[in-house]
A and B are shown apart, each in its own frame.
Chain A
Amino acid sequence: MSRTIVMTSGKGGVGKTTITANLGTALARLGRSVVVVDADFGLRNMDLLLGLENRVVYTALEVIAGECRLEQALVKDKRTPNLSLLPAAQTRNKTAVSPDQMRQLIDKLSSSHDYVLIDCPAGIEQGFRNAIAGANEAIIITTPELSAVRDADRVVGLLEAAQIQPTQLIVNRLRPDMVAASQMMSVEDVVEVLAIPLVGIVPEDREVIVSTNKGEPLVLSANPPLAAQALQRIARRLEGETVEFPNVASLGESFWEKAKRFLNQKVI
Chain B
Amino acid sequence: MTGSPILNSEIFEPSPAARRNLGAGSVSFRSDAHGIHLHLPAAMDWAEIWESLIWQLRSRKPYWAGMAPLTLWSQQWELDLPTLQALSALLSQHRLQLWRVQTTARSTAIAAATLGYSVEQSSPLEVPLPIPPDTMPLYLRSTVRSGTAVRHSGSVFLLGDLNPGGEIIAGGDILVWGRLRGLVHAGANGDEKALILALQLDPTQLRIADQVARPPEGGSLPNTPEVVYLQDGVICIASIQDFLRRGV
The chain A residues found within 8 Å of chain B, CB to CB, are 129, 146, 150-151, 153-154, 156-158, 160-163, 193, 195
Chain A residues closer than 8 Å to B163, beta-carbon distance: 153, 193
Given contacts A150-B146, A151-B146, A195-B143, whether A157 and B164 have CB atoms under 8 Å apart is no
Kindly provide the distance from the CB of A209 to the nearest chain B CB, expressed in whole angstroms: 30
Interface: B145 (CB within 8 A): yes
Binds A, one of B17-25, B46-54, B227-235, B240-248: B46-54
List 4 additional contacts besides A161-B51, A161-B54, A193-B181; criterion CB under 8 Å. Answer: A153-B146, A153-B163, A157-B146, A160-B54
Q: Are A153 and B165 touching (Cβ within 8 A)? A: yes
* Across the A-B interface, the 3 shortest Cβ-Cβ residue pairs: A161-B51, A157-B145, A154-B147
Chain A residues closer than 8 Å to B51, beta-carbon distance: 158, 161-162
Q: Are A163 and B54 touching (Cβ within 8 A)? A: yes
Interface: B148 (CB within 8 A): yes
Given contacts A156-B145, A157-B145, whether A193 and B164 have CB atoms under 8 Å apart is yes
The chain B residues found within 8 Å of chain A, CB to CB, are 47, 50-52, 54-55, 58, 143, 145-148, 161, 163-165, 181
Question: Once the chains are docked, how many angstroms separate the CA of A151 from the CA of B163?
Answer: 11
Q: List 14 A-B contacts (CB under 8 A).
A: A153-B145, A153-B146, A153-B165, A154-B146, A154-B147, A157-B145, A157-B146, A157-B148, A160-B55, A160-B58, A161-B50, A161-B51, A163-B54, A193-B161
Kindly provide the distance from the CB of B166 to the nearest chain A CB, expressed in whole angstroms: 8
Nearest opposing residue in chain A for B52, CB measure: A161
Nearest opposing residue in chain B for A152, CB measure: B146
Interface centre among B54, B55, B147, B148 (most CB of A within 10 A): B147
Chain A residues closer than 8 Å to B145, beta-carbon distance: 153-154, 156-157
Kindly provide the distance from the CB of B200 to the nearest chain A CB, expressed in whole angstroms: 11
Question: Once the chains are docked, how many angstroms separate the CA of A146 from the CA of B58?
Answer: 27
Chain A residues closer than 8 Å to B181, beta-carbon distance: 193
Q: Are B147 and A157 touching (Cβ within 8 A)? A: yes
Main secondary structure on chain B at its contact with chain A?
loop
Nearest opposing residue in chain A for B145, CB measure: A157
Chain B residues closer than 8 Å to A150, beta-carbon distance: 146, 164-165
Chain A residues closer than 8 Å to B147, beta-carbon distance: 153-154, 157-158
Interface centre among A151, A158, A163, A193 (most CB of B within 10 A): A193
Chain A residues closer than 8 Å to B164, beta-carbon distance: 146, 150, 153, 193
Kindly provide the distance from the CB of B49 to the nearest chain A CB, expressed in whole angstroms: 11
Question: Once the chains are docked, how many angstroms separate the CA of A195 from the CA of B166?
Answer: 15
Chain B residues closer than 8 Å to A193, beta-carbon distance: 161, 163-164, 181
Kindly provide the distance from the CB of B58 to the nearest chain A CB, expressed in whole angstroms: 8
Q: Are A154 and B55 touching (Cβ within 8 A)? A: no
Question: Once the chains are docked, how many angstroms separate the CA of A156 from the CA of B161?
Answer: 14
Chain A residues closer than 8 Å to B146, beta-carbon distance: 150-151, 153-154, 157
Kindly provide the distance from the CB of A250 to the nearest chain B CB, expressed in whole angstroms: 29
Question: Once the chains are docked, how many angstroms separate the CA of A119 from the CA of B163?
Answer: 26
Question: Once the chains are docked, how many angstroms separate the CA of A151 from the CA of B147?
Answer: 9
Partner of B55, one of A129, A151, A161: A161
Question: Once the chains are docked, how many angstroms separate the CA of A163 from the CA of B181?
Answer: 25
Nearest opposing residue in chain B for A129, CB measure: B47
Nearest opposing residue in chain A for B143, CB measure: A195
Question: Once the chains are docked, how many angstroms separate the CA of A150 from the CA of B47?
Answer: 21
Nearest opposing residue in chain A for B147, CB measure: A154
Chain A residues closer than 8 Å to B52, beta-carbon distance: 161
Interface centre among A129, A151, A154, A163 (most CB of B within 10 A): A154
Nearest opposing residue in chain B for A146, CB measure: B164
Kindly provide the distance from the CB of B67 to the nearest chain A CB, expressed in whole angstroms: 22
Question: Once the chains are docked, how many angstroms separate the CA of A150 from the CA of B148?
Answer: 12
Chain B residues closer than 8 Å to A156, beta-carbon distance: 145
Kindly provide the distance from the CB of B201 to the nearest chain A CB, expressed in whole angstroms: 16
Chain B residues closer than 8 Å to A157, beta-carbon distance: 55, 145-148
